[in-house]
Amino acid sequence: MKLVTFRRSDHAAALGVMVGANRILDAQAAAVRERGTPTSFLTSMLELIRSGEPALVELRRLVGMFRDDPAFSASLRDCTLLAPVPVPEQIRDCLVFEKHFLQARAQAAVLKARLLGDTTETAIAASGSKVGSSIPKVWYEQPLYYKGNRFSVTGPDSDVLWPSYSRFLDFELEWGIFISRKGKNISRANARDHIFGYTIFNDFSARDAQYRETEGRLGPAKGKDFDTGNAMGPCLVTADEIVDPYSLSMAVRVNGEEWGRGKTGDMHHRFEDILAHISSDETLHPGEFIGSGTVGDGCGLEHDRWIKPGDVIELEVEKIGILRNRVVKQQAAGHA
């Protein structure tokens, strides 16, 4: 199933299921029609995830009964899609695509040289060449990740607010998983059982802030943590719908022009490896999100090519859909 969180006019957010390309079944409305009362696990996407496989079985049954009844569905054009899980239980984002790491590492040095004011071509080229072919050994040995701000999530077709302290805002073509069940010390062999489903993730990044603060061996902080900086959607595809998650094409377009393309299969550490590593002596909970990190050629930094206010960014992942957002300038930050 393709699950969404949506809103109609001034109604509260609701859990929906895509039925066809352009219609959304209101899951709770269908349940009320059949049972006469609301169903607790259909109140939100988080509640559905927490309720486990029996809830999914029941939801599939409702979809089978009501998918063709227009009384319980709405046209996609009459709805606003929110992020599938508007406030995840946790956000972790990884760095598992080798091509991205190599290219971004070299270009980050170039950007740092520019930010420091050394704009001569020789100095900039030398900065990039020093690190361009070097990836730390630890990256190959284990998945690396950071924790993001779960309160800064936004959904498809929403505006992303350009942080006032940044001149170099960047997109990142990623995808990710939501955890389906509680688990600790999860084995790689059993890890797939802990994946509820997949969505697209645009980890917007203020590159100048990111590389300034990580010089202090902490972060990213304000390089990532700003309102609307974590875009997710357009839907959450349940794991059973994607038999081979590592055979999907990925692409990013800016104002309709393709800027990058990659494949999910290029992940050096796959989600099974990531879950096994993260859950070592740490309990994972239903509704947590884990991002893949950026696919190679999946951000502007890798090519020293930069978006500007008003640009529309589209991320597309096969079998999931298109996540579209516009970046807009905001006024300089004030103090409350």
- Whether residues 267 and 304 share a domain: the answer is yes
Residue 109's Cα: distance from chain center in Å?
A: 26
Helix (H, G, I), strand (E, B) or coil at 327: strand
Residue 334 lies in a domain: no
- Whether residues 117 and 258 share a domain: the answer is yes
- Whether residues 135 and 196 share a domain: the answer is yes
What is the pLDDT at residue 333? Answer: 52
What is the pLDDT at residue 318? Answer: 98
What total number of domains does the chain contain? 2
Report the 10 Å Cβ neighbour count for 61.
12
Whole-model pTM above 0.85? yes
- Whether residues 278 and 182 share a domain: the answer is yes
Report the 10 Å Cβ neighbour count for 78.
11
Q: In percent, how much of the chain has pLDDT > 70? A: 94
Instruction: State how far the Cα of 186 lies from the Cα of 334, in Å rounded to an integer.
Output: 45
**Token pair in block for residue 334:** 């004030």
Contact 238, 57 (CB under 8 A): no
pLDDT tens for 109-163 read: 899 888 887 655 544 455 445 544 589 999 999 999 999 999 999 999 999 999 9
DSSP state of 249: E
- Whether residues 99 and 160 share a domain: the answer is yes
- Whether residues 177 and 261 share a domain: the answer is yes
Cis peptide before 234 (omega within 30 of 0): yes
- Whether residues 110 and 72 share a domain: the answer is no
- Which residue, among 180, 173, 177, has the nearest Cα to 198 in the 3D structure? 177
Domain with 271 in it: 90-329
Instruction: State how far the Cα of 135 lies from the Cα of 153, in Å rounded to an integer.
Output: 30
Q: In percent, how much of the chain has pLDDT > 90? A: 86
Label residue 183 exposed, middle or buried (CB < 10 Å: 0-12, 13-18, 19+). buried
Residue 231's Cα: distance from chain center in Å?
A: 6
Contact 162, 176 (CB under 8 A): no
Residue 285 lies in a domain: yes
- Whether residues 128 and 192 share a domain: the answer is yes
Last-in-domain residue among 16, 51, 82:
82
Helix (H, G, I), strand (E, B) or coil at 186: coil
Mean pLDDT of 157-178: 97
**Token pair in block for residue 241:** 């719908």
What is the pLDDT at residue 332? Answer: 57
Contact 295, 98 (CB under 8 A): no
Last-in-domain residue among 82, 108, 129:
82
pLDDT tens for 202-212 read: 999 999 999 88
- Whether residues 73 and 97 share a domain: the answer is no
Residue 181 lies in a domain: yes
Residue 335 lies in a domain: no
Residue 336 lies in a domain: no
What angle do helix axes 27-35 and 52-66 make, rounded to 10 degrees?
80
Residue 313 lies in a domain: yes
Last-in-domain residue among 47, 82, 117:
82
- Whether residues 174 and 41 share a domain: the answer is no
- Which residue, among 217, 164, 151, 188, has the nearest Cα to 280 in the 3D structure? 188
Residue 227 lies in a domain: yes
- Whether residues 234 and 188 share a domain: the answer is yes
Instruction: State how far the Cα of 42 lies from the Cα of 111, in Å rounded to an integer.
Output: 47
Report the 10 Å Cβ neighbour count for 245.
23
- Whether residues 47 and 99 share a domain: the answer is no
Helix (H, G, I), strand (E, B) or coil at 9: coil
**CA torsion, points 102, 108, 114, 117, in degrees to nearest 10?**
-120
Residue 63 lies in a domain: yes
Mean pLDDT of 216-224: 90
Can you give the CATH number for the domain in which 21 is found? 2.30.30.230
Report H helices in 180-270.
207-213
pLDDT tens for 281-329 read: 999 999 999 999 999 999 999 999 999 999 999 999 999 999 999 999 9
Contact 107, 301 (CB under 8 A): yes
Contact 206, 223 (CB under 8 A): yes
Can you give the CATH number for the domain in which 225 is found? 3.90.850.10
